[in-house]
Structure 1
Protein backbone atom coordinates (compact mmCIF):
# COMPACT_ATOMS: atom_id res chain seq x y z
CA UNK A 1 0.00 0.00 0.00
CA UNK A 2 1.32 3.45 -0.89
CA UNK A 3 0.32 6.88 0.34
CA UNK A 4 -0.44 9.36 -2.42
CA UNK A 5 0.42 13.02 -2.13
CA UNK A 6 -3.21 13.93 -2.81
CA UNK A 7 -6.15 12.80 -0.69
CA UNK A 8 -6.08 9.00 -0.35
CA UNK A 9 -9.15 6.98 -1.35
CA UNK A 10 -11.82 6.41 1.26
CA UNK A 11 -12.30 2.69 1.71
CA UNK A 12 -15.69 1.15 2.33
CA UNK A 13 -14.46 -1.39 4.85
CA UNK A 14 -12.14 -1.01 7.79
CA UNK A 15 -8.48 -1.86 7.26
CA UNK A 16 -5.24 -1.61 9.23
CA UNK A 17 -1.78 -1.15 7.78
CA UNK A 18 1.49 -0.85 9.71
CA UNK A 19 4.23 0.90 7.76
CA UNK A 20 7.17 -1.46 7.14
CA UNK A 21 9.75 1.25 7.90
CA UNK A 22 10.38 3.23 11.07
CA UNK A 23 9.55 6.92 11.05
CA UNK A 24 10.91 9.74 13.13
CA UNK A 25 8.47 11.84 15.11
CA UNK A 26 8.94 14.66 12.58
CA UNK A 27 8.13 12.35 9.66
CA UNK A 28 5.06 11.07 11.44
CA UNK A 29 3.78 14.59 12.10
CA UNK A 30 4.33 15.47 8.42
CA UNK A 31 2.24 12.44 7.43
CA UNK A 32 -0.38 13.48 9.98
CA UNK A 33 -0.63 16.92 8.36
CA UNK A 34 -0.82 15.34 4.90
CA UNK A 35 -3.77 13.16 5.92
CA UNK A 36 -5.34 15.72 8.22
CA UNK A 37 -8.36 16.37 6.02
CA UNK A 38 -9.16 12.70 5.53
CA UNK A 39 -11.70 12.10 8.27
CA UNK A 40 -12.06 8.39 7.56
CA UNK A 41 -8.35 7.73 8.21
CA UNK A 42 -6.75 7.52 11.66
CA UNK A 43 -3.04 7.42 12.44
CA UNK A 44 -1.20 6.01 15.45
CA UNK A 45 2.49 6.15 16.38
CA UNK A 46 4.51 4.00 18.76
CA UNK A 47 8.30 4.12 18.96
CA UNK A 48 8.75 4.80 15.27
CA UNK A 49 6.09 2.39 14.04
CA UNK A 50 3.14 3.99 12.28
CA UNK A 51 -0.29 2.45 11.84
CA UNK A 52 -2.96 3.78 9.51
CA UNK A 53 -6.56 2.65 9.90
CA UNK A 54 -9.65 3.40 7.88
CA UNK A 55 -12.97 3.68 9.72
CA UNK A 56 -16.11 2.01 8.44
CA UNK A 57 -19.66 3.28 8.83
CA UNK A 58 -20.40 0.27 11.04
CA UNK A 59 -17.53 1.20 13.35
CA UNK A 60 -18.82 4.75 13.70
CA UNK A 61 -22.39 3.58 14.31
CA UNK A 62 -21.30 1.36 17.21
CA UNK A 63 -19.10 4.11 18.63
CA UNK A 64 -21.87 6.72 18.58
CA UNK A 65 -24.48 4.32 20.00
CA UNK A 66 -22.11 3.31 22.79
CA UNK A 67 -21.55 6.97 23.68
CA UNK A 68 -25.33 7.49 23.89
CA UNK A 69 -25.82 4.40 26.05
CA UNK A 70 -23.05 5.40 28.44
CA UNK A 71 -24.47 8.91 28.60
CA UNK A 72 -27.82 7.45 29.70
CA UNK A 73 -26.07 5.37 32.34
CA UNK A 74 -24.17 8.34 33.73
CA UNK A 75 -27.37 10.40 33.87
CA UNK A 76 -29.47 7.70 35.53
CA UNK A 77 -26.75 6.87 38.07
CA UNK A 78 -25.87 10.54 38.72
CA UNK A 79 -22.23 10.05 37.73
CA UNK A 80 -20.23 13.19 37.04
CA UNK A 81 -18.12 12.78 33.92
CA UNK A 82 -16.31 14.66 31.20
CA UNK A 83 -16.39 13.07 27.74
CA UNK A 84 -13.10 13.51 25.89
CA UNK A 85 -14.10 11.51 22.82
CA UNK A 86 -11.29 10.82 20.37
CA UNK A 87 -8.99 13.54 21.69
CA UNK A 88 -5.45 12.58 20.70
CA UNK A 89 -3.08 11.34 23.40
CA UNK A 90 0.25 12.49 22.06
CA UNK A 91 3.74 13.23 23.35
CA UNK A 92 7.03 13.12 21.48
CA UNK A 93 8.91 12.31 24.70
CA UNK A 94 6.64 9.29 25.26
CA UNK A 95 7.12 8.15 21.67
CA UNK A 96 3.42 7.78 21.03
CA UNK A 97 0.31 9.27 19.48
CA UNK A 98 -3.12 7.61 19.67
CA UNK A 99 -6.79 8.52 19.31
CA UNK A 100 -9.20 6.36 21.31
CA UNK A 101 -12.65 5.78 19.89
CA UNK A 102 -14.19 7.11 23.11
CA UNK A 103 -12.70 8.36 26.35
CA UNK A 104 -13.93 9.77 29.65
CA UNK A 105 -12.67 11.45 32.80
CA UNK A 106 -14.29 10.95 36.20
CA UNK A 107 -13.91 12.46 39.65
CA UNK A 108 -13.87 15.91 41.18
CA UNK A 109 -10.64 16.90 39.44
CA UNK A 110 -11.66 15.48 36.08
CA UNK A 111 -11.39 18.75 34.15
CA UNK A 112 -7.80 19.26 35.27
CA UNK A 113 -6.58 15.80 34.26
CA UNK A 114 -4.20 15.46 31.32
CA UNK A 115 -5.32 11.93 30.42
CA UNK A 116 -8.67 10.16 30.50
CA UNK A 117 -9.56 7.59 33.15
CA UNK A 118 -11.26 5.36 30.59
CA UNK A 119 -10.45 4.71 26.93
CA UNK A 120 -12.62 2.54 24.69
CA UNK A 121 -11.69 0.83 21.42
CA UNK A 122 -14.24 -0.51 18.94
CA UNK A 123 -12.45 -3.34 17.13
CA UNK A 124 -13.51 -4.61 13.71
CA UNK A 125 -10.03 -5.27 12.34
CA UNK A 126 -7.62 -6.77 14.86
CA UNK A 127 -3.86 -6.83 14.69
CA UNK A 128 -1.44 -3.96 14.38
CA UNK A 129 0.46 -2.34 17.22
CA UNK A 130 0.14 -2.97 20.96
CA UNK A 131 -2.85 -0.82 21.84
CA UNK A 132 -2.47 -1.19 25.60
CA UNK A 133 1.08 0.15 25.44
CA UNK A 134 -0.20 3.46 24.07
CA UNK A 135 -2.48 3.91 27.03
CA UNK A 136 0.01 2.66 29.62
CA UNK A 137 2.33 5.53 28.74
CA UNK A 138 -0.44 8.00 29.55
CA UNK A 139 -1.50 6.10 32.69
CA UNK A 140 -5.08 5.56 31.54
CA UNK A 141 -6.74 3.62 34.38
CA UNK A 142 -9.00 1.41 32.28
CA UNK A 143 -9.12 0.35 28.64
CA UNK A 144 -12.12 -1.42 27.15
CA UNK A 145 -12.25 -3.30 23.85
CA UNK A 146 -15.54 -4.15 22.15
CA UNK A 147 -15.03 -6.92 19.58
CA UNK A 148 -17.45 -9.48 18.13
CA UNK A 149 -20.15 -8.42 20.57
CA UNK A 150 -18.00 -8.90 23.68
CA UNK A 151 -16.30 -6.43 26.00
CA UNK A 152 -12.75 -7.08 27.25
CA UNK A 153 -11.63 -4.86 30.12
CA UNK A 154 -8.15 -4.04 31.36
CA UNK A 155 -7.15 -2.16 34.50
CA UNK A 156 -3.76 -0.50 34.95
CA UNK A 157 -1.68 -1.88 37.80
CA UNK A 158 1.98 -1.54 38.81
CA UNK A 159 3.13 -4.23 36.38
CA UNK A 160 0.97 -3.09 33.47
CA UNK A 161 -2.58 -3.88 32.44
CA UNK A 162 -4.44 -6.83 33.94
CA UNK A 163 -7.66 -8.17 32.46
CA UNK A 164 -10.70 -7.75 34.72
CA UNK A 165 -14.27 -9.05 34.58
CA UNK A 166 -16.02 -5.89 35.76
CA UNK A 167 -15.11 -2.24 35.55
CA UNK A 168 -13.49 -0.77 38.65
CA UNK A 169 -14.53 2.70 37.48
CA UNK A 170 -18.15 1.74 36.78
CA UNK A 171 -18.86 -1.30 39.00
CA UNK A 172 -22.66 -1.02 38.61
CA UNK A 173 -22.61 -1.13 34.81
CA UNK A 174 -24.06 -4.35 33.35
CA UNK A 175 -21.68 -5.05 30.47
CA UNK A 176 -23.77 -7.93 29.11
CA UNK A 177 -26.75 -5.58 28.87
CA UNK A 178 -24.61 -2.91 27.23
CA UNK A 179 -23.31 -5.36 24.65
CA UNK A 180 -26.83 -6.67 23.99
CA UNK A 181 -28.06 -3.16 23.25
CA UNK A 182 -25.14 -2.49 20.91
CA UNK A 183 -26.20 -5.46 18.81
CA UNK A 184 -29.88 -4.54 18.50
CA UNK A 185 -31.01 -3.72 14.97
CA UNK A 186 -32.86 -0.52 15.90
CA UNK A 187 -30.86 2.14 17.71
CA UNK A 188 -33.87 3.93 19.19
CA UNK A 189 -35.19 0.70 20.66
CA UNK A 190 -31.76 -0.11 22.03
CA UNK A 191 -31.69 3.19 23.92
CA UNK A 192 -35.22 2.72 25.24
CA UNK A 193 -34.52 -0.85 26.35
CA UNK A 194 -31.26 0.13 28.07
CA UNK A 195 -32.89 3.06 29.88
CA UNK A 196 -35.75 0.91 31.10
CA UNK A 197 -33.38 -1.84 32.24
CA UNK A 198 -31.10 0.40 34.30
CA UNK A 199 -34.11 2.08 35.93
CA UNK A 200 -35.42 -1.21 37.29
Structure 2
Protein backbone atom coordinates (compact mmCIF):
# COMPACT_ATOMS: atom_id res chain seq x y z
CA UNK A 1 0.00 0.00 0.00
CA UNK A 2 1.28 3.44 -0.90
CA UNK A 3 0.20 6.47 1.11
CA UNK A 4 0.54 9.95 -0.31
CA UNK A 5 0.45 12.81 2.17
CA UNK A 6 -1.31 15.94 1.02
CA UNK A 7 -0.38 17.73 4.24
CA UNK A 8 3.16 19.08 4.59
CA UNK A 9 5.16 16.92 7.02
CA UNK A 10 5.85 20.00 9.17
CA UNK A 11 2.11 20.25 9.95
CA UNK A 12 1.74 16.68 11.25
CA UNK A 13 1.66 16.60 15.06
CA UNK A 14 2.88 13.63 17.04
CA UNK A 15 1.70 12.95 20.57
CA UNK A 16 4.66 12.83 23.02
CA UNK A 17 6.22 9.36 23.44
CA UNK A 18 5.08 8.27 19.97
CA UNK A 19 6.83 7.69 16.68
CA UNK A 20 6.01 7.74 12.99
CA UNK A 21 7.91 5.43 10.60
CA UNK A 22 8.28 6.17 6.92
CA UNK A 23 9.56 3.33 4.72
CA UNK A 24 11.36 3.36 1.37
CA UNK A 25 12.83 6.82 1.90
CA UNK A 26 15.91 7.60 -0.19
CA UNK A 27 18.90 9.42 1.23
CA UNK A 28 17.94 12.56 -0.69
CA UNK A 29 14.36 12.18 0.57
CA UNK A 30 15.65 12.03 4.15
CA UNK A 31 17.74 15.17 3.66
CA UNK A 32 14.74 16.94 2.10
CA UNK A 33 12.63 15.88 5.09
CA UNK A 34 15.20 17.35 7.49
CA UNK A 35 15.13 20.60 5.56
CA UNK A 36 11.30 20.67 5.52
CA UNK A 37 11.09 20.11 9.28
CA UNK A 38 13.76 22.71 10.06
CA UNK A 39 15.80 22.94 13.24
CA UNK A 40 13.27 24.46 15.65
CA UNK A 41 11.29 21.34 16.51
CA UNK A 42 10.78 18.87 19.34
CA UNK A 43 10.93 15.77 17.14
CA UNK A 44 14.02 13.65 16.64
CA UNK A 45 14.80 11.64 13.53
CA UNK A 46 16.67 8.43 12.82
CA UNK A 47 17.42 7.25 9.28
CA UNK A 48 18.63 3.72 8.57
CA UNK A 49 17.97 1.13 5.86
CA UNK A 50 15.65 3.54 3.99
CA UNK A 51 13.42 3.96 7.07
CA UNK A 52 12.91 7.32 8.75
CA UNK A 53 11.64 7.26 12.32
CA UNK A 54 10.27 10.55 13.63
CA UNK A 55 9.72 10.50 17.38
CA UNK A 56 8.52 12.91 19.98
CA UNK A 57 9.93 12.35 23.47
CA UNK A 58 7.55 12.30 26.43
CA UNK A 59 7.95 13.97 29.82
CA UNK A 60 9.71 11.08 31.61
CA UNK A 61 12.04 10.68 28.64
CA UNK A 62 13.01 14.35 28.84
CA UNK A 63 13.43 14.24 32.64
CA UNK A 64 15.90 11.35 32.35
CA UNK A 65 17.63 13.08 29.41
CA UNK A 66 18.12 16.28 31.43
CA UNK A 67 19.32 14.38 34.53
CA UNK A 68 21.91 12.47 32.50
CA UNK A 69 23.06 15.68 30.82
CA UNK A 70 23.46 17.35 34.23
CA UNK A 71 25.46 14.35 35.51
CA UNK A 72 27.75 14.37 32.46
CA UNK A 73 28.34 18.12 32.62
CA UNK A 74 29.04 17.94 36.35
CA UNK A 75 31.45 15.01 35.87
CA UNK A 76 33.29 16.76 33.04
CA UNK A 77 33.58 19.92 35.11
CA UNK A 78 34.66 18.07 38.28
CA UNK A 79 37.27 16.05 36.38
CA UNK A 80 38.54 19.05 34.37
CA UNK A 81 37.69 17.38 31.05
CA UNK A 82 37.34 19.40 27.88
CA UNK A 83 33.83 18.93 26.50
CA UNK A 84 31.25 20.47 24.25
CA UNK A 85 27.52 20.05 24.79
CA UNK A 86 26.10 19.55 21.29
CA UNK A 87 22.50 18.92 22.43
CA UNK A 88 20.44 16.82 20.02
CA UNK A 89 22.44 17.78 16.94
CA UNK A 90 21.87 15.89 13.69
CA UNK A 91 24.59 13.46 12.61
CA UNK A 92 24.80 12.46 8.95
CA UNK A 93 27.66 11.15 6.88
CA UNK A 94 27.64 11.73 3.15
CA UNK A 95 29.20 8.31 2.49
CA UNK A 96 26.54 6.49 4.56
CA UNK A 97 22.82 6.21 4.27
CA UNK A 98 22.45 6.67 8.02
CA UNK A 99 21.51 9.61 10.19
CA UNK A 100 20.53 10.14 13.81
CA UNK A 101 19.63 12.83 16.32
CA UNK A 102 20.62 11.64 19.80
CA UNK A 103 18.74 12.91 22.83
CA UNK A 104 21.91 14.52 24.12
CA UNK A 105 25.35 14.55 22.60
CA UNK A 106 28.66 15.60 24.05
CA UNK A 107 32.03 15.88 22.40
CA UNK A 108 33.24 13.29 24.92
CA UNK A 109 30.19 11.03 24.75
CA UNK A 110 26.78 10.43 23.16
CA UNK A 111 23.77 9.65 25.28
CA UNK A 112 20.64 8.29 23.67
CA UNK A 113 17.58 7.95 25.88
CA UNK A 114 14.83 5.83 24.37
CA UNK A 115 13.25 2.45 24.86
CA UNK A 116 13.97 1.63 21.22
CA UNK A 117 17.61 2.79 21.32
CA UNK A 118 19.01 -0.73 21.03
CA UNK A 119 17.74 -0.80 17.46
CA UNK A 120 19.72 2.36 16.69
CA UNK A 121 23.10 0.94 17.74
CA UNK A 122 23.86 0.02 14.11
CA UNK A 123 23.52 3.69 13.14
CA UNK A 124 25.88 4.79 15.92
CA UNK A 125 28.33 2.03 14.90
CA UNK A 126 28.25 3.17 11.26
CA UNK A 127 28.97 6.73 12.43
CA UNK A 128 31.88 5.49 14.61
CA UNK A 129 30.51 6.73 17.95
CA UNK A 130 32.89 5.18 20.54
CA UNK A 131 30.53 5.17 23.55
CA UNK A 132 26.78 5.19 24.14
CA UNK A 133 24.77 5.54 27.31
CA UNK A 134 21.59 3.50 26.81
CA UNK A 135 18.70 4.07 29.21
CA UNK A 136 15.93 1.51 29.12
CA UNK A 137 13.37 0.32 31.67
CA UNK A 138 14.82 2.39 34.50
CA UNK A 139 18.44 1.35 34.00
CA UNK A 140 21.41 3.00 32.30
CA UNK A 141 23.98 0.78 30.60
CA UNK A 142 27.26 2.06 29.22
CA UNK A 143 28.27 0.54 25.89
CA UNK A 144 31.56 0.89 24.03
CA UNK A 145 32.21 0.20 20.37
CA UNK A 146 34.16 -2.95 19.52
CA UNK A 147 34.82 -4.66 16.19
CA UNK A 148 31.67 -6.74 16.72
CA UNK A 149 29.39 -3.85 17.73
CA UNK A 150 28.60 -2.41 21.15
CA UNK A 151 29.40 -4.21 24.39
CA UNK A 152 28.30 -3.39 27.92
CA UNK A 153 31.10 -2.07 30.12
CA UNK A 154 31.25 -1.31 33.81
CA UNK A 155 33.09 2.00 33.46
CA UNK A 156 32.78 4.79 30.93
CA UNK A 157 35.62 5.53 28.52
CA UNK A 158 35.02 9.24 29.04
CA UNK A 159 34.78 9.00 32.86
CA UNK A 160 36.95 6.02 33.79
CA UNK A 161 36.50 6.44 37.54
CA UNK A 162 32.70 6.31 37.26
CA UNK A 163 30.79 3.04 37.12
CA UNK A 164 27.41 2.38 35.54
CA UNK A 165 26.14 1.59 39.06
CA UNK A 166 27.18 5.07 40.25
CA UNK A 167 25.46 6.68 37.26
CA UNK A 168 22.27 4.75 38.02
CA UNK A 169 22.46 5.79 41.68
CA UNK A 170 22.71 9.45 40.71
CA UNK A 171 19.81 9.08 38.29
CA UNK A 172 17.64 7.58 41.03
CA UNK A 173 18.61 10.46 43.33
CA UNK A 174 17.66 12.94 40.60
CA UNK A 175 14.30 11.23 40.13
CA UNK A 176 13.42 11.39 43.84
CA UNK A 177 15.20 14.58 44.86
CA UNK A 178 16.03 17.82 43.14
CA UNK A 179 18.50 18.43 40.34
CA UNK A 180 20.67 20.40 42.77
CA UNK A 181 20.74 17.52 45.26
CA UNK A 182 21.88 15.19 42.50
CA UNK A 183 24.57 17.59 41.21
CA UNK A 184 25.90 18.07 44.74
CA UNK A 185 26.06 14.29 45.25
CA UNK A 186 27.98 13.85 41.98
CA UNK A 187 30.48 16.57 42.94
CA UNK A 188 30.90 15.20 46.47
CA UNK A 189 31.55 11.65 45.25
CA UNK A 190 33.97 12.76 42.51
CA UNK A 191 35.86 14.99 44.97
CA UNK A 192 36.16 12.00 47.35
CA UNK A 193 37.41 9.78 44.52
CA UNK A 194 39.95 12.41 43.45
CA UNK A 195 41.32 12.64 47.01
CA UNK A 196 42.11 8.92 47.14
TM-score normalized with structure 1 length: 0.80
**1:65 shift after superposition:** 2.2
TM-score normalized with structure 2 length: 0.81
Partner residue in 2 for 1:194: 186
Q: In structure 1, list runs of 5 or more residues that go unmatched.
A: 107-117
SS of alignment partner, residue 144 of structure 1: strand
SS of alignment partner, residue 191 of structure 1: helix
Q: CA distance change for structure 1 residues 52 and 166 in 2, over 3 Å: closer, same or farther? A: same
Partner residue in 1 for 2:17: 14
- Please show how residues 44-193 of structure 1 align to structure 2 within 5 Å: 44-106=46-108, 118-123=109-114, 125-126=115-116, 130-183=119-172, 184-185=175-176, 186-193=178-185
Return the alpha-carbon distance in structure 2 between the equivalents of residues 161 and 180 of structure 1.
Answer: 23
Q: Contact 2:93–2:127 at 8 Å: present in 1 too?
A: no
Matched length: 185
Return the alpha-carbon distance in structure 2 between the equivalents of residues 188 and 48 of structure 1.
Answer: 43
Return the alpha-carbon distance in structure 2 between the equivalents of residues 2 and 174 of structure 1.
Answer: 49
**1:86 shift after superposition:** 1.8
